[in-house]
Amino acid sequence: MKNKIAIVTGGTRGIGKAIAIDLKKAGAKVIASYQGNEEAALAFKKETGIAISRFDVADYEQCNTAVRTVEAEYGRVDILINNAGITRDGFLHKMGEDSWDSVLDTNLKSCFNMCRAVIEGMRTRGFGRIITISSINGQLGQFGQTNYSAAKAGVFGFTKALARECAAKGITVNAVAPGYIETDMVKAVQEDVLKKIVGNIPVGRLGQPSEIARAVCFLAADEAGFITGETLSINGGQYME
Ligand code: NDP
């Protein structure tokens, strides 16, 4: 992975932060993106020395401009980690169109936006690693998360289709499906609900961001060229396919 250029969306906090740090440790030059939490992004940059870039993954033009800017500065993009994601939970019978659209746009359309921007360069150079962070809730279907479950399940189909399109071009496309990981996203879940969730995890605890980063680095490695179209589930045994 030495000197490979990697973009990690949502790379300044939570799971993305752990991924950005591990990719850097493995020798990649990393650019971590974020949307609006400038304070966290600047603290991340100071702590890690990793470059940051502010843009909205739900916006096609912003993604395209951000990738062109990285290419202008670093020459190319070799590794793309589609990690940025949000939840806007609610029962379908109470869900507004804005909650549906923002979750689908941020978690799924973002994959199109970012992959579209990097894919031609990867195809021309004959190398690429694309890894998207899906979720156990895209596998199980979660109460109160029709929007999020649909978006994260959509990632699996997107991943397989793009993996087929790019397999002969040295580009692998895979998904990682985390279970419940200790980040701000999960800290926002009500305490009693979280207790119930942990009770359903055979390993008996929440996962750590570093445990997801380890799998992403494995899939991003030069040596992982024969793994494509796959989903790696990391959930403490909560869901076994
Ligand atoms: P966090 O909420 O901790 O961090 C989210 C990151 O994504 C932040 O850097 C945030 O930027 C960025 N982001 C959010 N929306 C956008 C946007 N529109 N454009 C650009 N960046 C954006 O999330 P987690 O680390 O918990 O989750 C990371 C991924 O893992 C998500 O895709 C999530 O769905 C998935 N996941 C998480 C699980 C968990 O238990 N935590 C379980 C399964 C999947 P900013 O700081 O500016 O807000």
Instruction: Provide the CATH number for the domain around residue 107.
Output: 3.40.50.720
Element (H, E) at 103: helix 97-104
Q: Determine the distance separating the centroid of ligand 1 and the alpha carbon of 238, expressed in angstroms.
A: 21
Burial degree of 199 (CB within 10 A; 0-12, 13-18, 19+)? exposed
Does a structural domain hold residue 202? no
Active-site entry in 60, 74, 148, 239: 148
Mutate to test the pocket of ligand 1, among 8, 9, 19, 34 (most ligand atoms within 8 A of CB): 34
Domain enclosing residue 129, as ranges:
5-181+210-234
| Nearest in space to 218 (alpha carbons), one of 18, 50, 22 | 22
Lowest mean pLDDT among 57-61, 178-182, 186-190: 186-190
Residues 30-42, buried b or exposed e (16+ Cβ, 10 A)? bbbbbbeeeebbe
Our count of domains for the chain comes to: 1
Does a structural domain hold residue 19? yes
Determine the pLDDT at residue 38: 97
Does a structural domain hold residue 228? yes
Whether the per-residue pLDDT at 223 is higher than 90: the answer is yes
Whether the per-residue pLDDT at 17 is higher than 90: the answer is yes
Burial degree of 188 (CB within 10 A; 0-12, 13-18, 19+)? exposed
Does a structural domain hold residue 67? yes
Whether the per-residue pLDDT at 186 is higher than 90: the answer is no
Of all protein residues, whose CA lies closest to atom 2 belonging to ligand 1?
185
Torsion over CA of 218, 219, 225 and 228, rounded to 10 degrees? 150
Q: How confident is the model at residue 125 (pLDDT cuts 50, 70, 90)?
A: very high
Mean pLDDT within 94-117? 98
Q: Is residue 109 lining ligand 1, measured as CB closer than 6 Å?
A: no
Does a structural domain hold residue 88? yes
Residue 34 bears catalytic tag? no
Q: Is residue 85 lining ligand 1, measured as CB closer than 6 Å?
A: yes
Determine the pLDDT at residue 221: 98
Element (H, E) at 171: strand 171-178
Does a structural domain hold residue 186? no
Q: How confident is the model at residue 185 (pLDDT cuts 50, 70, 90)?
A: confident
Does a structural domain hold residue 30? yes
The pTM of this model reads 0.98
